[in-house]
Amino acid sequence: MANTILVGAQWGDEGKGKIIDVLTEQADIVVRTQGGNNAGHTVFIGEQKYVLHLVPSGILRKRKLCVIGNGVVIDPVSLVAEIDGLGRFGVRCEGNLFISETAHLVLPYHRELDAQREILKGKNKIGTTKRGIGPAYGDKAARTGVRMIDLINPPRFEEVLRRKLKENNEILKAFGAKPLSFKKVHAAYRAAGDRLKPFVANTVVLLHEAVREQKDILFEGAQGTFLDIDHGTYPFVTSSNTTAGGACTGSGVPPHRMDLVLGVMKAYTTRVGEGALPTEDPTLAKTLHEMGREFGATTGRARRCGWFDAVATRYATMINGIDELAVTNLDGLDGIDPIRVCVGYRLNGKRLQVPPCDATQLENCEPIYHDFPGWKKPTHTARQISELPSAARRYIKAIAELTGAPLRIVSVGPTRNETIVL
């Protein structure tokens, strides 16, 4: 399978978890390289639903190594809860999961600051997951962060935490928020540190050994292209590089060891949180929500929904260097007719082929649609492309062509079986 970077080509929740689970069958190692427990990756094994936040989705297949790379920000208490939760379903992380010693920690003051900054922003809020992601990456960039390597060194952690809490409690007080108790935070984080210590490793060396042994590595992207801190719809983005380059910096595996970039995209568009979504359509959202679909895997929020936006996905192909595509949730469009696809934006009378970088301009873009006939038949039983209704085949062929990369996978349901590999 070679070394594959899997990225979300839209605004997150493209179905990356499901596709990772399918591809893990042929991989040796699955690596998360950015983001934190803001991610929610859903995998169904039969009827059983798993939602992974920090642990790579590859953990659900036996004898596959999973790595949380240096680029991830880790809330250790929440990671322990996730590992324990998996354990209750018989999924063993011990011996299969490795955590980078240089990954930064999310501390309770990061979560509190995330919440306070959102309150202060009022109607301009980002709509974050309130998991402390922005403030944790902020500390990393400011060189004031705390890392896994500090957490598993008790005297050092105590000293650093004392200092960090003193400073951050002053900031919290300025926001009018309650200061945090050193005793409580220290006890919870030390306990988590003891639990996680056996998992902590130099994952850069581990991955380079795997590369030397020609193991197949799958890099599991979190969030999506338009939530990228550099290339997304700033400021309505997350705080990491969600695009392909993030897989290199977040793991220590260099670009020329990567073989393929796979872009995952839904057959329509969703976004959770604030910021422009040019093809947003409340009627389509209502239809999908009434089907019980499109509720956030991390926060449970109803996702905003819109038509497939080929301007966005074409840009994603360029930024990530997408070689192949996986289209998910085709079955979500089964009852819809006609099905709209955005093929260009119009802004101030001009036609645009790339999304403008300015958030207000993007907000003002009007989509130019091409309508496709619906198929009005269920697709979830198809296992070969030829078993799809011809209108569905025409639709996926068109969105792949507009996106500018060959189609490799079509997903027609949430489980492993409901997958067509071309």
Note whether 110 binds ligand IMO by CB under 6 A.
Answer: no
297, amino acid identity? A
Residue nearest to ligand IMO (CB): 273
Note whether 14 binds ligand GDP by CB under 6 A.
Answer: yes
- Which of 37, 38, 100, 168 forms a contact with ligand IMO (CB under 6 A)? 38
The dihedral through the CA atoms of 288, 292, 297, 299 has a sign that is positive
| Torsions phi, psi for 23 (to 5 deg) | -75, -25
- CA 336 from chain centre, in angstroms, equals 27
Alpha-carbon span 314 to 44, nearest angstrom: 29
Helix or strand holding residue 97 (H, E):
strand 97-100
Alpha-carbon span 32 to 38, nearest angstrom: 13
Q: Would you put residue 378 in left (φ > 0), alpha (ψ -120 to 50) or beta?
A: beta
Q: CB under 5 to 8 A by kind: which of Mg ion, ligand IMO, ligand GDP, none does 128 bind?
A: ligand IMO
Note whether 260 binds ligand IMO by CB under 6 A.
Answer: no
Minimum CB distance to Mg ion smaller for 14 or for 139: 14
Residue 111: CB minimum distance to ligand GDP, A: 20
**Contacts of 362 by beta carbon, 8 Å cutoff, 6+ apart:** 233, 276, 278, 355, 356
Note whether 273 binds ligand IMO by CB under 6 A.
Answer: yes
- Which of 13, 21, 309, 334 forms a contact with Mg ion (CB under 5 A)? 13
Alpha-carbon span 247 to 89, nearest angstrom: 29
Minimum CB distance to ligand IMO smaller for 134 or for 145: 134
The dihedral through the CA atoms of 148, 151, 157, 161 has a sign that is positive
Q: CB under 5 to 8 A by kind: which of ligand GDP, ligand IMO, Mg ion, none does 414 bind?
A: ligand GDP
Interacting positions 242-271 with ligand GDP (CB under 6 A): none
Q: Is 230 a catalytic residue?
A: no
The dihedral through the CA atoms of 344, 350, 355, 358 has a sign that is negative
Note whether 79 binds ligand IMO by CB under 6 A.
Answer: no
Alpha-carbon span 355 to 368, nearest angstrom: 13
Binding residues for Mg ion, rule CB under 5 A, total 3
Q: Is 194 a catalytic residue?
A: no
Minimum CB distance to ligand GDP smaller for 195 or for 380: 380
Q: Which of 21, 41, 309, 334 is catalytic?
A: 41
Residue 133: CB minimum distance to ligand IMO, A: 4
- Which of 4, 128, 203, 379 forms a contact with ligand IMO (CB under 6 A)? 128
**Contacts of 187 by beta carbon, 8 Å cutoff, 6+ apart:** none
Note whether 411 binds ligand GDP by CB under 6 A.
Answer: yes
Note whether 412 binds ligand GDP by CB under 6 A.
Answer: yes
- CA 297 from chain centre, in angstroms, equals 11
Note whether 220 binds Mg ion by CB under 5 A.
Answer: no
Alpha-carbon span 22 to 409, nearest angstrom: 10
Minimum CB distance to ligand GDP smaller for 16 or for 147: 16
Catalytically annotated residues:
13, 41
The residue ranges that bind ligand GDP (CB under 6 A) are: 8, 12-18, 40-42, 44, 297, 328-329, 331, 411-414
- Contacts with Mg ion by CB under 5 A lie at 13, 40, 297
